[in-house]
Amino acid sequence: MNWLRLQTLSWLQRTTLLLASALLLSNILIILYAVTLRYLVGGAPIWTDEAARFLIIGCTLLAAGAVWVEGGHMRIALLETRLPKRLSQLLITYQWLLTLGIAVCAAVFSYRYALSVGMFKTPGLGISRTWPLLSMPIGFGLLAVQVLLHGPKRLPVMSENPE
């Protein structure tokens, strides 16, 4: 069962990072298109700014879970390493439960909010505001799933000196 959990977590990490990379590439291409048009014809379509903003938010939220599992989010791990093993494990479990709780709550509340603004359209793209806002519950939901699959164990610590 542990093997299946780790394989699922690994697959989910790779998949979300691949999707986030695709969104980032799309964002870069749209920004390059807009900049090129600004220099060539003196202006770019209004939708390019809006699309770039929505894509970068979606990219960030999709990658949040994979980055968390790799220990890439900013945090202070000093207490985890300095406390006795039992207290350290208690702190790690507390952090895990807190992260899981915040991710689940954020997914639920952002999902409700995304659905509540469905009657409004974005000014540039002309689509329902629900579509770009769905990146929030999807991102927080994926974070919650990856936190749950990772379990309450120590996260890797990013070192200042990668020697």
Condensed to tens digits (0 to 9), the pLDDT of residues 45-85 reads 999 999 999 999 999 999 999 999 998 877 777 778 888 99
With pLDDT > 90 as the criterion, what percentage of the chain qualifies?
A: 79
pLDDT (0 to 100) of residue 75: 75
**Predicted pLDDT at 73:** 79
Residue range 37-49: mean pLDDT, rounded: 93
Any idea which of 1-5, 71-75, 143-147 has the lowest mean pLDDT? 71-75
What does the alpha-carbon distance between residue 98 and residue 147 come to, in Å, rounded to a whole number?
10
Question: Bridge partners of 121?
Answer: 128
Q: How confident is the model at residue 130 (pLDDT cuts 50, 70, 90)?
A: very high
Name the least confident of 27-31, 38-42, 66-70, 78-82.
78-82
Residues 52, 54: Cα–Cα separation, whole Å: 6
Residues 33-38, mean pLDDT to the nearest whole number: 96
Mean pLDDT of 130-143: 97
The residue ranges of every structural domain in the chain are: 2-150
CA distances from 28 to 22, 32, 53, 90 (A): 10, 6, 11, 43
pLDDT of residue 143: 97
Average pLDDT over residues 112-122: 95
161 has a pLDDT exceeding 60: no
Residue pair 111/61 in contact by the 8 Å Cβ criterion: no
Spatial distance between the Cα atoms of 124 and 46, rounded to a whole number of angstroms: 5
Q: Are 49 and 129 in contact (CB under 8 A)?
A: no
